[in-house]
Amino acid sequence: MGIWVTYSASSGSDRGGNFTMNPELIDSLSSQLGANGLPYSIPIHPNLVHLTLGLFIMGIAFDIVGILFPLQKPVFKLLAISTTRSNFFDVGWYNMLASSIITFFTVAAGFYEIMLARPSAELKSAWGFGAMDTMIWHGVGGVFLLAFIVGMTIWRGFQRYIWSKDKLQQVQWSYLAVGLFIMFLMYVHGTLGAQLAAEFGVHNTADALLKLGEDPNQVLK
């Protein structure tokens, strides 16, 4: 379950100065965790990750369509699609803003779930990392990605409301280039997370049930 107990000579210690913990409390905590090592059946972090990825990618994608709108305008006209350039920039901005907000919850859920992880210390990932190294890189990478996404949102806000407020082209090419680079970082970071689940079995419900000799199709109905 990943619970660390700090030994102290303060209150609650025995005569030798070592902290003692009631084993029944540990058993009660363990009994509340499911086969995936979490107090709930479906991990929250992976689902929020997909929201972060989807919103960020859509934000950049719609801004790209907006910046290339003059080239695509005949196509929209041919397909009888009624739209304006500002519509695409609106979608790009609100998706980036939503991605920035949801990523705080994504990272928080990730750190909570990683503290409950109990992967095997003997396994190695396809990249040659052990479980602890993979979790550290994934955790630190998540914090950096949060900072990058928030920074992109602030940058996008300045472009929308100050720098390009009265311009038809609302975003800069440099902004889109940085956004594409962050997408690459998301791919690398997401691969680490996938390795934790697939190769180390971290909070993988189906994998844990199979190891217990149970049928996931029956248990997860």
DSSP letters spanning 140-168: HHHHHHHHHHHHHHHHHHHIIIIITTT-S
214's tokens: 């149970």
Residues 52 and 193 sit within 8 Å (Cβ to Cβ): no
Cα separation of 207 and 213, whole Å?
Answer: 10
Q: From 197, 183, 184, select the one nearest 135 (Cα to Cα).
A: 197
User: Within 13 Å, how many C-alpha atoms sit on residue 111's CB side?
Assistant: 11
Counting as low any pLDDT under 70, the low residues of the chain are: 1-36, 76, 78-80, 166, 204-221
Dihedral sign of CA atoms 34, 40, 41, 47 in order: negative
Looking at residue 78, its pLDDT comes to 67
Cα separation of 53 and 124, whole Å?
Answer: 26
**Own/partner long-range contacts of 30-35 (Cβ < 8 Å, ≥24 apart):** 30/1, 33/1, 33/116, 34/205, 35/205, 35/208, 35/209, 35/212, 35/214, 35/219
- Paired with 13 in beta bridges are 19
Looking at residue 89, its pLDDT comes to 94
Looking at residue 28, its pLDDT comes to 56
Q: In which residue are the tokens 């909570």 written?
A: 112
Q: From 90, 82, 83, 101, select the one nearest 63 (Cα to Cα).
A: 90
pTM, to two decimals: 0.77
Looking at residue 221, its pLDDT comes to 57
Looking at residue 30, its pLDDT comes to 54
What values do phi and psi take at 52, rounded to 5? -55, -50
Q: From 199, 201, 195, select the one nearest 35 (Cα to Cα).
A: 201
Identity at 5, one-letter amino acid code: V
